[in-house]
Amino acid sequence: MALRPPIVYKNRFLEIVTAVILFSMGYITELISVLRSKPEIDYCKEFGKIALISTFPLGFGDLVMDAPFMQSLRRAFPKAKITLITDKELFTKNSFLDAVIRMRGGYYELYKQFRRLRSKKYDLAIVMNRSYNQSLYMQGLAPRYVLGYYGNFKVLSNFKLRNTEKWTPRKDHYWDMALKIADALGIRRVETLPELNVTAEIKKKTGAILKAAGYSAKWNTIFVNTFAAWDSRRWKEENYVDLIERIHGVCDIFLFGSKGDVWLNDYIKKELKKRNVQVKDVTGKFNLLEAYYAISKASLFLTPDVGPMHFAFMSKTPTLALFGPINPEHRLPKKKSTIIKALWHLDHQRGGEYTYHYSYRDSSMNGMPGITVDMVEKEIRTFFRKGRFV
């Protein structure tokens, strides 16, 4: 890809050193968990205060896909006080969370903040997604019991689990990463996404921002979310420029994304301006809940990023999803839906070969070359002509 997002470090050396320590500690913690003898306990009796961990560098898409597990946990332990510790302004106190603690920072800053929470004396801390740094944050909390993914794909703990579970990247849906923790505990799964708490204030603010950007309810409004963190998951910016030039006469187009995506969409607008094409832009204008509500106002949503895909699904917004290395069957919302259609690079470029981790780092996939502008244009025009995907 021609562009990269700007990276800002408060103390780059300290962040790198901390990251190395985190990776090392992840392996050590995992080894200790495997070797240590584990007590058999009464889960309902012992798990009075539960902490769920989902912080940097995990994205909001990870947290959205953890929601079914969080609901499963609430159903199994209705009397427990469940707290989510996160940097994402997505969930508030609700039917499955008693409290939400928000914290921000790099590896080192987050670890210090987790240590400050030791006074809360959590009975159980859970790392819901495989992540070395999350496992060290969990140790910083110093809970009585620990559970989840330390660095491998096996569900580990310092107490006896009812079942042995392992998440298989090339086979299992991403939702299953957290849900296999429920399986390990022997509790029943909840496999639905929750409703988000969109207040009247959020709706009013979001509506005002959209109106100021030139939005009015139309049958042909398309929001284009351009960014994804990995080059192999991000469609080429030149493709977006070509696509928008082709369809701007038949669609009311809005560039969409977070504050971190402004650099990319500014580039796209600059290139479009050279072609005398103007496009509306709401990039960086919304927080997560506002973005969720804004997406519900689109007639069609185009995105390569899994988190926004789930927002669109939850808000019942038709979505054209662009996939690079990852099998759409493993990342699209688990419930099949006719309002989402996926184009997968590997269907068109490499005959369906799928290697999961290696694919992220395969430069031949950068920009999703298997997905052409012609393909995406055809899908969009067909959708607006027929009012559905075919």
186-202 residue pLDDT tens: 999 999 999 999 999 99
CB neighbours of residue 121 within 10 Å: 12
Percent of the chain exceeding pLDDT 90 equals 75
Between CA 296 and CA 156 the distance in angstroms is 39
Q: How confident is the model at residue 8 (pLDDT cuts 50, 70, 90)?
A: very low
Region(s) of the chain under CATH 3.40.50.2000? 12-32+40-185, 200-386
Q: How many CB atoms lie within 10 A of CB 219?
A: 9
Which residues, at least 6 apart from 79, have a Cβ–Cβ distance to it below 8 Å? 44, 48
The CATH homologous superfamily to which domain 200-386 belongs is Glycogen Phosphorylase B; (3.40.50.2000)
Cβ–Cβ < 8 Å for 24, 100: no
Residues 81-116 pLDDT 10s:
999 999 999 999 999 999 999 999 988 899 999 999
- Answer for the pair 142, 118: CB distance below 8 angstroms, yes or no: yes
Contact (Cβ atoms closer than 8 angstroms) between residue 60 and residue 307: yes
Residue labelled with tokens 């899908």? 379
Residue 5 confidence (pLDDT): 54
d(C-alpha 11, C-alpha 16), whole Å? 9
- pLDDT tens-digit map of 18-41: 656 655 655 555 555 555 678 999
| Nearest 10 degrees: Cα torsion 197, 201, 207, 212 | -140
The tokens describing 319, both together, are 């979505």
What distance separates the 2 farthest-apart alpha carbons in the chain?
Answer: 69
The CA-atom distances, in angstroms, between 155 and each of 10, 170, 297, 309 are 34, 17, 39, 27
What the block records as the tokens of 36 is: 């240590």
For residue 163, which of 139, 137, 189, 132 has the smallest C-alpha distance?
A: 189
Q: Report helix, strand or coil for 80.
A: coil
**Residue 145 · residue 77 · CB < 8 Å:** no
Beta-bridge partner residues of 318? none
Indicate yes or no: pTM above 0.95. no
Asked whether residue 313 carries a pLDDT value surpassing 50, the answer given is yes
Angle CA 350–355–358, to nearest 5: 105
**Coil/strand/helix, residue 212:** helix
DSSP 8-state class, residue 27: H
Domain 12-32+40-185 has CATH 3.40.50.300: no
CA 241 to chain centre: 25
The CA dihedral of 183, 188, 189, 194, to the nearest 10 degrees, is -140
| pLDDT at residue number 245 | 98
Is residue 144 within 8 A of residue 49, CB to CB? The reply is: no
Question: For position 36, what pLDDT does the model report?
Answer: 64
CA distance 165 to 155: 6
Nearest to 90 by CA among 195, 189, 209: 195
Mean of the per-residue pLDDT values of the chain: 90
Tell me if 358 sits within 8 A of 337, measured CB to CB. no
- List the structure tokens of 325: 């290395």
pLDDT digits (tens, 9 = 90+) for 220-269: 999 999 998 888 889 999 999 999 999 999 999 999 999 999 999 999 99
Given a cut of 70, whether residue 16 has pLDDT beyond it is no
> How far is Cα 203 from Cα 210, in angstroms, rounded to an integer?
10
Q: Is the dihedral of CA 103, 136, 97, 199 positive or negative?
A: positive
